[in-house]
Structure 1
């Protein structure tokens, strides 16, 4: 072999080895700790959780920790990216875009605005990222699953409890009530309202006035109720209120307006403050939606989708535009002072100590919470 040929062969081999080593280094960098979020070579997934606001007590206290807990149980290496929109649809859009840019494998989205959130679903679809509509239904046919409760049933439970309580109090069938509904941007609020009207409209009660509370903000509910107290006074003999937080605002307005005794007031979400108001007699009832199974189901679906699975849903729900979405719908439960122990305490949502603080110790003893 000629020297020039041998030299060329050595150079060629060295060059090939060098390229091979550079390629290996490059691949190691791409799959290492500095890689974008998302599925890696070990199959670990990144799941985005987007919640709508901070005025609703349940999101930070229940939904987020339960969701993260279940994901961790199912997938040691999975990562949950979390963001809260603080009641701002534009902010939620930006948060979703950030998560999509980071390479999430699944989005679990509780929309602040069910219609506006359809844009997020469109962007996720363009990247082949599935979206689970959580608690509130996004108005998009491209949602992969919906996890929530029978929201029309929630409104029916609230209204039926109010009607029954007013009968127990011996009030006339045409007594006046006011209705404090949920946020006009929340698709669930329309279902609560529809369910409530199913019962109230057939009851003979007189709806003196009703209000859709922007952003579910308690101060706005309080201001509106204060105006109705000025207008109707003691003619307000019952209050349909769509959730516990706005019920707190309504009750504050009733007290400030000198309404005594307080009329029965409904609520929803079994917020700790709501349970305590029920014990003290300020609020009549709430609706308990077991957040743990709801959050767990969403987490289970998210992990399954990240692994390429398509679980079979046991129900469907229709979006505002009429699209049918595979769904898992849990059953809500009405809670009054008589079944606090058998519901929120038995399920571990709150302990007796959490409920029965010094201010509520006497009420707890009276109702057997000890």
Structure 2
């Protein structure tokens, strides 16, 4: 899949809290509970020294040679027109803004161009609504379901019902482990995690930060295998360095359910246990990064002073990159993923035309993956109307 990575290695001007607490005194919330201590005094000076910052300093840096993806673009297939009716169920509007902004219109466009009638709905984060939509679509006579499930269990349940009704299913973006869908269309999700971790390290290295203290904020590994793959990719990069004593992973947390509101508290707890010092954060996507930036990092005077990753190239993510509060984001070209889903079909009988939902040529394995290529913009200073430069890797994804 085509991807853009927007980088801005840190170094932002000093932020001053309007009402700093007394040095050494913990903050307490309305309920009287101890809140994460803000970084002031000696610890704050230590943070500035590690980044080479002075009061009022503002420096925007970039990577001259940002990390490259090892994935390849999907084969451009022209399978002609198809026919039939497809139901598409998207998971929510909260874990990422991509579903309504990109997936829904791009899937609709791709399916229409393929000659397929599409019914696209969103489950709004409710597994009950997800199941209800699926039942209604099956009852309405769809030939194929394309589902991006809220969790694997509910997705597998829908796949079982669909199979009983003779409806084919394509796992879209998220695979349902334990399910029965014969095809899976997605990005190279491990590669995304590798790029996030490596870019964070490269930014820290460019700032000459040695043995950085890092916090990992995983997405909803409790509901989504993609989050597991993002984390696996990040650990592929970080674990060898941790073993060699070159990276200090001070904590790792899961944002349950991919709900952004679940990110600030576990991050704040980890930050407090690390004595308020962190140089890098692997945040699974822009929503999690934004929740951390607007919460614990701002509360502790660290927003703009910590290298933090992202994903999805959301509006808030891009704004944070531009303002120097977020170091990178990954844009995944959903149009390629949507096109791959629309073109997934095959001939169930050599004498018949293509049937919606399966590839023309049966793959060697039951999983089809729309793969990832890289294109990136790396900016070291503000520009007017920046245009990304493209770079494609010919190495196939594993």
Query: TM-score interval w.r.t. the shorter chain?
Result: 0.7 to 0.9
For the pair shown, which has the larger CA radius of gyration, 1 or 2?
1
Secondary structure of 2:343's counterpart equals helix
The answer to whether the aligner puts 1:311 opposite 2:360 as a matched pair is yes
Indicate how the Cα distance of structure 1 residues 227 and 307 shifts in structure 2: closer, same or farther if over 3 A, else same.
closer
1:262 Cα offset (Å): 2.0
The residue correspondences of 1:105-184 to structure 2 (distance < 5 A) are 105-140=143-178, 142-173=180-211, 175-183=212-220, 184=222
Indicate how the Cα distance of structure 1 residues 231 and 67 shifts in structure 2: closer, same or farther if over 3 A, else same.
same
Aligned mate of 2:110, from 59, 70, 83: 70
Rounded to whole Å, the distance in 2 between the matches of 1:251 and 1:335 is 23
1:110 Cα offset (Å): 0.6
The answer to whether the aligner puts 1:246 opposite 2:295 as a matched pair is no
1:333 Cα offset (Å): 3.5
1:272 Cα offset (Å): 2.4
Q: What residue number does 1:100 align with?
A: 138
Rounded to whole Å, the distance in 1 between the matches of 2:328 and 2:362 is 31
Q: How high is the TM-score relative to the length of structure 1?
A: 0.73
Indicate how the Cα distance of structure 1 residues 307 and 168 shifts in structure 2: closer, same or farther if over 3 A, else same.
closer
Stretch deviating more after TM superposition (224-233 or 125-134): 224-233
Task: After superposition, give the CA deviation of every residue in 1:119-138 in whole Å (9 maximum; x if it has no partner).
Answer: 11111111111100000011
The residue correspondences of 1:190-201 to structure 2 (distance < 5 A) are 190-201=228-239
The residue correspondences of 1:257-296 to structure 2 (distance < 5 A) are 257-259=300-302, 261-296=304-339
**Aligned residue-pair number:** 294
Rounded to whole Å, the distance in 1 between the matches of 2:375 and 2:270 is 27
Aligned mate of 2:91, from 52, 57, 75: 52
Provide the alpha-carbon RMSD of the alignment: 2.5
Secondary structure of 1:255's counterpart equals helix
1:285 Cα offset (Å): 0.9
The structure in which a higher percent of residues are helix is 1
Rounded to whole Å, the distance in 2 between the matches of 1:222 and 1:290 is 29
Q: What residue number does 1:206 align with?
A: 248
Secondary structure of 1:104's counterpart equals coil
1:44 Cα offset (Å): 4.9
Unaligned runs of 5+ in 2: 1-81, 348-353, 389-398
Secondary structure of 2:301's counterpart equals coil
Rounded to whole Å, the distance in 2 between the matches of 1:74 and 1:292 is 14
Indicate how the Cα distance of structure 1 residues 308 and 169 shifts in structure 2: closer, same or farther if over 3 A, else same.
closer
The residue correspondences of 1:2-13 to structure 2 (distance < 5 A) are none
Rounded to whole Å, the distance in 1 between the matches of 2:152 and 2:160 is 13
Secondary structure of 1:136's counterpart equals coil
Indicate how the Cα distance of structure 1 residues 335 and 278 shifts in structure 2: closer, same or farther if over 3 A, else same.
farther
Unaligned runs of 5+ in 1: 1-42, 317-324, 340-361
Q: Is the 8 A contact 2:336 2:370 kept in 1?
A: no
Q: What residue number does 1:12 align with?
A: none
Rounded to whole Å, the distance in 2 between the matches of 1:315 and 1:179 is 36
Q: Is the 8 A contact 1:177 1:238 kept in 2?
A: yes
